[in-house]
Chains A and B, each alone.
Chain A
Amino acid sequence: MNTESLGTIFLNACLVNNFVLAYFLGICPFLGVSGKMETATKMGGAVMFVMLISSMCAYGIHAFLVSIGAPFLQLISYIVVIASTVQLVEMFIKKISPALFRSLGIFLPLITTNCAILGVALFQTNKEYGFLESIVYALGAGAGFTLALVLIAGLREQLDFAEIPKISKGTALTLFIAGILSLCFMGFAGLGA
Chain B
Amino acid sequence: MSNDNSSSEQKVTTTDEFIKGLWRENPVFVQVLGMCPVLAVSNTAENALAMGLATAFVLLMSNVLVSLLRNFVPKQVRIASYILIIATFVTVTDYAIQAISVELHKSLGAFISLIVVNCLILSRAEAFASKNTVWKSIFDALGMGLGFTFALFCLGSVREILGNGSLFNIALFPEGFQSWIVMILPAGGFFTLAIWLLIINGIQTRKTKS
Report the bound CA distance from A176 to B83 in whole Å: 32
- B146 interface residue (CB < 8 Å to A): no
Q: How many residues of chain B have a CB within 8 Å of chain A?
A: 40
Report the bound CA distance from A173 to B190 in whole Å: 10
Report the bound CA distance from A75 to B205 in whole Å: 42
Report the bound CA distance from A172 to B190 in whole Å: 9
- A114 interface residue (CB < 8 Å to B): yes
Kindly supply a per-residue 1/0 record for chain A positions 110-141, scoring 1 wherever the CB is within 8 Å of any chain B CB and 0 otherwise. Answer: 10111101110011001000000000000000
Q: CB distance B190 to A179 under 8 Å?
A: yes
> Which residues of chain B from 166 to 201 have a CB within 8 Å of any chain A CB?
182, 185-191, 193-194, 197-198, 201
Q: Which of B40, B79, B194 contacts A172 (CB 8 A)?
A: B194
Chain B residues contacting A172 (CB-CB under 8 Å) are 194, 197-198, 201
Chain A residues contacting B88 (CB-CB under 8 Å) are 76
Q: CB distance B91 to A113 under 8 Å?
A: no
Chain B residues contacting A166 (CB-CB under 8 Å) are 205
- B133 interface residue (CB < 8 Å to A): no
Report the bound CA distance from A7 to B207 in whole Å: 54
**What interface size band does chain A fall in?**
35 or more
Chain B residues contacting A31 (CB-CB under 8 Å) are 32, 35
Distance in Å: Cβ of A183 to nearest Cβ of chain B? 5
A contacts with B: majority SS: helix
Report the bound CA distance from A137 to B37 in whole Å: 22
Report the bound CA distance from A174 to B61 in whole Å: 33
Chain B residues contacting A92 (CB-CB under 8 Å) are none
**Residues on A facing B (Cβ under 8 Å):** 21-28, 31, 72, 75-76, 79-80, 83, 106, 109-110, 112-115, 117-119, 122-123, 126, 166-168, 171-173, 175-176, 178-180, 182-183, 186
Which 10 pairs of residues, A with B, have the shortest CB-CB distance? A179-B190, A175-B194, A27-B35, A182-B187, A24-B39, A172-B197, A24-B40, A167-B201, A179-B191, A115-B36
23 A-B residue pairings within 8 Å (CB atoms):
A21-B186, A22-B186, A27-B35, A75-B116, A76-B87, A76-B91, A79-B83, A79-B87, A80-B83, A83-B83, A109-B79, A112-B79, A113-B118, A115-B36, A115-B117, A119-B110, A122-B114, A167-B198, A171-B194, A176-B191, A179-B190, A182-B185, A186-B185
